A and B are shown apart, each in its own frame.
Chain A
């Protein structure tokens, strides 16, 4: 009879091998109501683990209210709040719907989302589409410019990108993201290389559309202007990949990690959909001019799904230039990656790091190793203002709170009969 250790190691190996075997393609852009699993006509999906309205920081509330006003369900934030308190509008985490959203991650029924399909395991994941930098709904901004950009995403950008994706049969993202790592991306906050590769693959099919030259020019301009246009698709790719490792008996690999400025939450493969939450930590930030620590929310967003899939901060040795954005020295970027081998189960042969002689990225974060070493995952991240309508205030580094992993370990021990 196999020992506990052998059972767990076997399950973890299986989970990580499924992660590495996954082959997600970006196949379409569709309205959330058509593409997001379980989306409802009165549902607003948000980032992080579950939380109550009264637990949200002010900019998060405004992002939720903005989403409700965007759908036309309310005219004012006060009306939007009433709809939530009366139970007429429901709030749920993106992760309950196999989706992700950056920062506050607002996803409402009419918003366009990237559709990702894992051709090996059949899993589907979705991600909202960025509507610009700094001042956006995902940071809790709500003004005419945000509304204009949300409308353009829904009416122009989404349909054209969806058309091109259907025309080309989808974009195979694992090799594309592997190439991007070789070009200096980390896949979380540095996405210029993937953006370029993705755009160059799509542009010939964008040109086949019936849209005017002026409209097509606007779309291509935008894919260039927002150097992280593709980033949310990459995150949904990571979501699809990690879905392949979820719900494996005796498996101690973390398959979800996300935050919403109030909580960080994790889920573990062998523990199903149970959340383990702890207060979201502050981020060690490089601030934009004029902002300081009192302005920033704590760690926020579903974007650290990239770290769960073994890139982002776990692959920062591939993206040393990122330290100019998040702070620190080049040696720090390398050390972030090296340290993460201590808490992971495998090296990802699909995604390798040139500087480290093409060593595979550390993948499969094992809660047992995290608790034993006390080393929690590094995360690189952007951070928004705690108040509405300011937007992004900086970017930096943080680590997931240990308590999530300690609580998860206790539950895991019970689940495996210890």
Chain B
């Protein structure tokens, strides 16, 4: 098992979820990054999310 102190000194690997503007700055720093194209349902609009929830009952 890797100790926490050792983990910090290993190369960073990042999974970026959602906002893709973080990817470029990580890449510029040589960080290995995988992007997950995710966004909240209905763009986070609570009124529409409420409707969607009720339609899925």
Which residues of A come within 8 Å of B, CB atoms?
A: 3-5, 8, 368, 371-374, 402, 406, 409-410, 412-413, 416, 418
Contacts and interface: CB of A to CB of B under 8 A. Distances in A.
22 contacts: A3-B57, A4-B55, A4-B56, A4-B57, A5-B55, A8-B55, A371-B52, A372-B41, A372-B42, A374-B39, A374-B42, A406-B42, A409-B51, A409-B52, A410-B48, A410-B51, A413-B54, A413-B55, A416-B55, A418-B51, A418-B54, A418-B55
A409 B42 CA distance: 11
A250 to B, nearest CB: 10
Could you tell me the dominant secondary structure of chain B's interface residues?
helix
Contact of B57 (A5, A372, A374, A410): A5
A3 B53 CA distance: 12
Given A371-B42, A406-B45, A418-B54, 16 more contacts: A5-B55, A5-B56, A8-B55, A368-B55, A372-B41, A372-B52, A373-B39, A374-B42, A374-B43, A402-B43, A406-B42, A409-B48, A409-B51, A410-B48, A413-B55, A418-B51
Nearest to B54: A418
A368 B41 CA distance: 11
Interface in B2-45: 39, 41-43, 45
Name, among A8, A371, A409, A410, the residue most crowded by chain B CB atoms within 10 Å (CB to CB): A371
A406 B56 CA distance: 16
Nearest to A3: B57
Contacts of B55: 4-5, 8, 368, 412-413, 416, 418
A145 B43 CA distance: 49
Could you tell me the dominant secondary structure of chain A's interface residues?
helix
Name, among B41, B45, B48, the residue most crowded by chain A CB atoms within 10 Å (CB to CB): B48
Contacts of A416: 55
A3 B39 CA distance: 27
Name, among A3, A8, A372, A412, the residue most crowded by chain B CB atoms within 10 Å (CB to CB): A372
A116 to B, nearest CB: 34
A368 B52 contact: yes
Contacts of A8: 55
A410 B41 CA distance: 15
A2 to B, nearest CB: 11
A8 B54 CA distance: 12
A3 B45 CA distance: 24
B35 to A, nearest CB: 14
Nearest to A7: B55
Contacts of B41: 372-373
B49 to A, nearest CB: 9
Contacts of A371: 42, 48, 52
Name, among B39, B43, B45, the residue most crowded by chain A CB atoms within 10 Å (CB to CB): B43
Contacts of A410: 48, 51
Contacts of A412: 55
B54 A4 contact: yes
Nearest to A416: B55
A372 B50 CA distance: 11
A374 B56 CA distance: 17
Name, among A5, A374, A412, the residue most crowded by chain B CB atoms within 10 Å (CB to CB): A374
A413 B56 CA distance: 11
Contacts of B42: 371-372, 374, 406
A373 B41 CA distance: 6
Contacts of A372: 41-42, 52
Contacts of B45: 406
Contacts of B52: 368, 371-372, 409
A406 B49 CA distance: 11
A232 to B, nearest CB: 36
Contacts of B57: 3-5
**4 cross-chain pairs, A with B, having the tightest CB-CB distances, nearest first:** A418-B54, A413-B51, A372-B41, A374-B43
Contacts of A418: 51, 54-55
A271 to B, nearest CB: 14
A368 B51 CA distance: 10
A13 to B, nearest CB: 16
Contacts of A368: 52, 55
